């Protein structure tokens, strides 16, 4: 792998420049105003794959945004690694909180990133991490050190729940045939403590509407006698979580796979300072489900959060109105054992029962995702562990990630293979938030590490 590593060292600046071009594209899949930009991002990925030396590069149409495919089959008898990533990004709002334009990448030094970090929406989630694989592949390829077959599947709908990828995978099982799937779309503990995500939370995302009168009403003329959808919705949301921090949906915890004390003790070994954690996000206190630590609350326990809520007069000044409708977007993170279809159904059955007879409640499911677990004795996990030990000179720790990559569970179902989540981001990258950034150290370390994964997986 020496030539590969040398190639990487000699091309760092170009790799970075190419990433910056990709980050300039506002490929926001959630907002139809950016449809052209999302497609442009797909075009650029395809171009980069071709330049990296991939064969059969193709922009595969789907019901939604396209999947970019490319591969390099050096020897059918060798194992095949399928690299998955996504080129779409989260919406950038609230824009006013960005210190620089979300799609005008700038490199700035930070306390955690003395070598500098690249600030832009998608820098860490997932353009920056996905692009590491393209460049690692290029380095292996150009130096003829590629030890196995490689396939790329880069999608453009991950941030909206990968609605089209399901059918794409079902309809292209032969094309996507692989021995292991490699993904960098998660974070590690810190820059001197690598970790591998062995679990992902699932997701159930719904939108709710509470309707009162058939029009907005004057709060003086009608106040006191007619249902106020905002007061009602607030009350309903308040009832979803009890004083103990437990979610009140009947049967919500039924299938949750509890961790053994041994497993929980293992988790407790992960270096973590609650003070630093609170300081890093500017809160005076943590909160959550009683009986669990902060790390457990954000990884092995299911949660419920209101992601957005609106209704009535939200402009300047005061308007004395009782709104006709109130809305909220509510999502639940699920853990192994829970099925998102089941949880969504339980929510849809339960939520309307929290309303008084004076209003009409509507619940619309958005999208869901299955939880996932990777056993630490898996060949892919072992290869990632060796690769990280090689470049970080430190033993990687297994970690449960709080986020969701719904598609991972689907891959296992449809393609029959496991996914290795070797993420190089940090929680402090503030993905999904203003000023998202990705450390240059992490970007290059990822490019250096990935070739070793190919090596050890092929050897192992």
- Residues annotated as catalytic are 88, 158
Among residues 60, 64, 57, which one has the least CA distance to residue 27?
A: 64
Rounded to 5 degrees, what angle do the CA atoms 122, 124, 130 make? 90
Q: Residue 71 — φ and ψ, nearest 5°?
A: -150, 175
Stretch that binds its own copies, among 76-84, 89-97, 107-115, 449-457 (CB under 8 A): 89-97
Q: Smallest gap, in angstroms, from Cβ of residue 325 to its own copies?
A: 9
Written as one string, the DSSP assignment of 328-340 is EEEEEEE-TT--H
Rama region for 393: left / alpha / beta (φ>0; ψ in -120 to 50; rest): left
Out of 311, 336, 380, 398, point to the residue binding its own copies (CB under 8 A): 311
Between 50 and 238, name the residue whose CB sits nearer to its own copies: 238
Q: Smallest gap, in angstroms, from Cβ of residue 380 to its own copies?
A: 22
Between 398 and 402, name the residue whose CB sits nearer to its own copies: 402
**Under 8 Å CB-to-CB from 8, ≥6 apart: which residues?**
15, 135, 136, 139, 444, 447, 448
- Distances in Å between the Cα of 294 and the Cα atoms of 99, 191, 268, 287, 447 are 29, 21, 10, 8, 31
Between 74 and 213, name the residue whose CB sits nearer to its own copies: 213
147 vs 134: CA distance, rounded Å? 15
Q: Give how many residues touch its own copies by CB under 8 A.
A: 102
- Establish whether the linkage from the previous residue to 94 is cis, with ω within 30° of 0: yes
Out of 2, 13, 76, 94, point to the residue binding its own copies (CB under 8 A): 94
Q: Smallest gap, in angstroms, from Cβ of residue 71 to its own copies?
A: 30
Of residues 153 through 172, those in contact with its own copies by CB under 8 A are 159-161
The 371-410 contact track toward its own copies, x by CB under 8 A, reads ------------------------------xxxx------
Alpha-carbon 96 to chain mean position: 23
Out of 127, 301, 346, 455, point to the residue binding its own copies (CB under 8 A): 301
Q: Smallest gap, in angstroms, from Cβ of residue 159 to its own copies?
A: 8
Of residues 119 through 138, those in contact with its own copies by CB under 8 A are none
Give pairs for 222-225: CB < 8 Å, separation 24+. 222/322, 223/322
Residues 102 and 202 sit within 8 Å (Cβ to Cβ)? no
Of residues 260 through 299, those in contact with its own copies by CB under 8 A are 281-289, 294, 297-298
Q: Does 253 bind its own copies (CB under 8 A)?
A: no
Residue ranges of the alpha helices (H) in 54-209? Answer: 127-142, 165-171
Rounded to 10 degrees, the C-alpha dihedral 424/427/433/437 comes to: -40
- Distances in Å between the Cα of 345 and the Cα atoms of 206, 228, 241, 442 are 10, 26, 18, 40
Of residues 207 through 246, those in contact with its own copies by CB under 8 A are 207, 212-228, 230-231, 233-235, 237-239, 241
Of residues 4 through 63, those in contact with its own copies by CB under 8 A are 29-32
Q: Smallest gap, in angstroms, from Cβ of residue 354 to its own copies?
A: 11
Of residues 314 through 343, those in contact with its own copies by CB under 8 A are 314-323, 326-329, 331, 333
Q: Does 141 bind its own copies (CB under 8 A)?
A: no
Q: Does 250 bind its own copies (CB under 8 A)?
A: no
Between 145 and 207, name the residue whose CB sits nearer to its own copies: 207
């Amino acid at each position: 792998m020496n030539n590969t590593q040398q190639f990487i060292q000699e091309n760092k600046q170009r790799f970075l420049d190419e990433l910056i071009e990709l980050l300039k594209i506002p490929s926001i899949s959630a907002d139809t105003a950016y449809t052209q930009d999302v497609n442009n991002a797909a075009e650029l990925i395809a171009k980069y794959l071709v330049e990296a030396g991939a064969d059969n590069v193709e922009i595969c149409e789907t019901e939604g945004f396209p999947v970019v495919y490319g591969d390099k089959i050096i020897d059918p008898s060798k194992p095949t690694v399928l690299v998955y990533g996504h080129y779409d990004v989260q919406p950038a709002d609230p824009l006013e909180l960005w210190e620089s334009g979300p799609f005008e990448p700038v490199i700035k030094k930070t306390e955690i990133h003395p070598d500098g970090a690249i600030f832009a929406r998608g820098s860490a989630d997932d353009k920056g991490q996905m692009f590491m694989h393209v460049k690692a592949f290029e380095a292996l390829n150009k130096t003829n050190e590629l030890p196995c077959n490689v396939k790329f599947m880069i999608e453009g709908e991950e941030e909206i729940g990968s609605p089209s990828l399901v059918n794409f995978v079902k309809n292209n099982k032969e094309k996507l045939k692989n021995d292991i799937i490699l993904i960098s779309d998660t974070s590690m503990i810190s820059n001197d403590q690598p970790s591998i995500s062995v679990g992902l939370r699932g997701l159930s995302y719904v939108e709710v509407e509470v309707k009162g009168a058939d029009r907005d009403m004057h709060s003086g003329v009608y106040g006191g006698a007619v249902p106020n959808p905002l007061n009602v919705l607030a009350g309903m949301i308040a009832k979803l979580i009890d004083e103990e921090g437990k979610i009140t949906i009947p049967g919500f915890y039924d299938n949750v796979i509890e961790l053994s004390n041994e497993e929980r003790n293992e988790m407790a070994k992960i270096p973590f300072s609650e003070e630093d954690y609170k300081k890093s996000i500017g809160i005076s206190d943590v909160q959550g489900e009683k009986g669990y630590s902060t790390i457990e609350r954000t990884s092995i326990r299911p949660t419920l959060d209101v992601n957005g809520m609106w209704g009535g007069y939200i402009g300047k000044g005061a308007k004395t109105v009782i709104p006709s409708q109130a809305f909220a977007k509510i999502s639940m993170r699920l853990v192994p054992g829970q099925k998102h279809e089941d949880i969504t159904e339980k929510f849809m059955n339960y939520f309307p029962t929290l309303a008084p007879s004076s209003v009409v409640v509507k619940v619309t499911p958005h999208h869901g995702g299955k939880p996932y677990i990777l056993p630490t004795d898996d060949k892919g996990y072992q290869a990632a562990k060796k690769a990280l030990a090689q470049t970080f000179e430190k033993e990687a720790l297994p970690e449960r990630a709080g986020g969701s990559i719904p598609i991972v569970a689907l891959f296992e179902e449809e393609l029959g293979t496991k996914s290795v989540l070797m993420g190089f981001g940090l929680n402090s990258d503030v993905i999904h938030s203003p000023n998202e950034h990705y450390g240059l150290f992490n970007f290059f370390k990822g490019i250096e590490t990935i070739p070793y994964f190919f090596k050890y997986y092929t050897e192992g």
